[in-house]
């Protein structure tokens, strides 16, 4: 897991952060980005697949594509404001 944060001018409050998780091939498997803005706190979550779509199962469990992301699922939420 890798974390990155930026702080406001006082150095006390996180205004931007990103956390990424990786698999044993060093491919990002998920990440979360958070931004604190004047209109609320925004959070983006993404998960990544590296296999082809398997229509029999409805999942991305087909052949591995050599590190190329074949599918990304992303959600965004806003809290407060």
Quote the pLDDT of residue 43. 97
Residue 49 pairs with which residues in a beta bridge?
71
Quote the pLDDT of residue 65. 97
Instruction: State the chain's mean pLDDT as an integer.
Output: 96
pLDDT band at 81 (very low <50, low <70, confident <90, very high): low
- 14-22 vs 71-79, strand pairing mode: unpaired
Question: Are 30 and 45 in contact, with CB atoms under 8 Å apart?
Answer: yes
pLDDT tens for 23-38 read 999 999 999 999 999 9
Quote the pLDDT of residue 42. 97
Quote the pLDDT of residue 1. 74
Domain count, the chain: 1
Full domain range(s) for residue 46 = 2-79
């Amino acid at each position: 897991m890798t974390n990155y944060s930026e702080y406001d001018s006082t150095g006390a409050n996180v205004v931007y952060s990103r956390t990424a998780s990786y698999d044993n091939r060093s491919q990002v498997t998920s990440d979360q980005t958070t931004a604190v803005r004047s209109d609320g706190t925004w959070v983006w979550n993404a998960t990544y697949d590296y296999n082809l779509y398997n229509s029999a199962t409805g999942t991305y469990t087909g052949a591995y594509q050599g590190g190329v992301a074949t599918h990304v699922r992303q959600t965004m939420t806003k809290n407060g404001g």
